[in-house]
A = this chain, B = another copy of it.
Amino acid sequence: MTVSPRTPPGVLELLPREQIAHQRMLDTIRRGFERFGFVPVETPVFELTNVLLTKSGGETEKQVYFVQSTGSLGKGLADGEKPELALRFDLTVPLARYVAEHEHDLNFPFRRYQIQRVYRGERAQKGRYREFYQCDIDVIGKDTLSLAYDAEMPAVIHGIFQELGIGKFTIKINNRKLLRGLLESLGIAVEQHAAVLHEVDRLGKLSRDEVSQRLAPLGAAGVLDKLDGGFDALAGHVETAGNAALTEGYRELGEVRAGLRALGVPEDDVRVDLSIARGLDYYTGTVYETFLDAHPELGSICSGGRYENLAGHYTKSKLPGVGISIGATRLFSKLLELKLLGAEQASTAHVMVLQVEAELAPSYSQIATELRTAGLNVELYASADKLAKQLKYADRAGVPLAILYGSRERDAGIVKVKDLRPNAEPREHDVPRADLVERVRSLVHTR
């Protein structure tokens, strides 16, 4: 009696070929984070429920996964009682808990990156995951935090997306204070702000006319004109009709723009877009969204912003911060679907040493060890299968080079190196035994 082997719905489990590509993507992201001196943090997959769910009720709690050991399962729960542990649903709440818990051991401004999976008990549906990677960076200040860090966020992401080579993208930045102040300056009541911004947010999906029609009944028909004009055109309005929020937001956004310029980020790739609103509650200043120019239908692939106080639920210290997050699992699966990410290699090896004659097995081990010592990744095919089967295996794995060494080669003092890469020319190299390491190294690195 066997059990059908299957994964739960709503997870992305990859075959080696895709897993290698996925790991390459995470490596690139991590390298990009470290290039700017962010330090790694990992938190446990579960938190104490009462620590994780400080905000009562709401959408989040409906999606939380609770964790129970066998023992506590037996005991049952009183009505309304929750299990002691719950899986993290994002990396922001764990960061808040981490910073508050370790506040006195951390170096502020605290710059952490975190690349871990998060969990949401969503209804399984295409493109929605119950388990997915988030890759977050945040800079947390104590009491204050310079606006220069707001400029750094898109610079980090710009470097990463460039290195990933996923085509032209645009990081759009805006400022929530500016938006609030602008609506206020146009006489729109505070109670209407959420509804107005919600409509503005549809600009990617609906036409400008449609959005304009939806804004009219809210008394906000004039908003789009102001937003369309862009940052520079707004100067006059700020001058004449500026309230405190508009003036401050405008100044902040200008400063962030100048910071980006100083960091050498191309203005065409990271742009002010006054129509970016990015939710309402959490972010209080700069906000970011990122789009693939050729695929706006994906929505924002990397978002974030500035917040006033990270950990008010856990500490009385004021901890302002700014952060940005890549939803790596969804991004990965989309990029793969669009063939914007390659997944050619099903192997981590540069070279495969084949078993031409079983009696020469010790030589194959020696050759493999020599190449490994030189820093190459080498797979030793250790079963005495037919050579055709071995070559098929090497080919399926996408290994660049195969090494064939039989008694004929041994007697001639050479090693045959087969280049398995498509369009390799020449396909075979007879390499003197003593030159093997050097030649293999140069073959690996020349393409």
Contacts and interface: CB of A to CB of B under 8 A. Distances in A.
Interface of A: 2-8, 11, 13-16, 19-20, 22-23, 33-48, 50-51, 54, 61-71, 73, 76-77, 82-85, 87, 96-98, 100-102, 105-109, 111-112, 117, 119, 121, 131, 141, 144-146, 148-149, 151-152, 155, 159, 258-259, 261-264, 311-316, 346-349, 352, 361-362, 365-366, 368-369, 372, 376-380, 382-384, 393, 396-397, 399
B16 A39 contact: yes
B39 A98 contact: no
Given A7-B97, A73-B82, A263-B368, 8 more contacts: A7-B44, A8-B84, A36-B378, A45-B45, A46-B131, A61-B70, A68-B83, A262-B366
A107 B346 contact: yes
A261 to B, nearest CB: 8
B70 A64 contact: yes
B314 A262 contact: no
Contacts of A45: 45, 87, 117, 119, 131
Contacts of A383: 109, 141, 144-146, 148
Contacts of A259: 361, 365
A263 B35 contact: no
A102 B400 CA distance: 24
Contact of A66 (B22, B67, B365): B67
A40 B348 contact: yes
Contact of A19 (B7, B40, B61, B365): B40
Scoring A11, A66, A315 by chain B CB atoms within 10 A of each residue's CB, the highest score goes to A66
A10 to B, nearest CB: 9
A105 B420 CA distance: 21
Contacts of A40: 16, 19-20, 23, 348
A38 B348 contact: yes
10 contacts: A3-B313, A7-B101, A13-B98, A34-B349, A45-B119, A68-B83, A109-B383, A259-B365, A262-B361, A264-B369
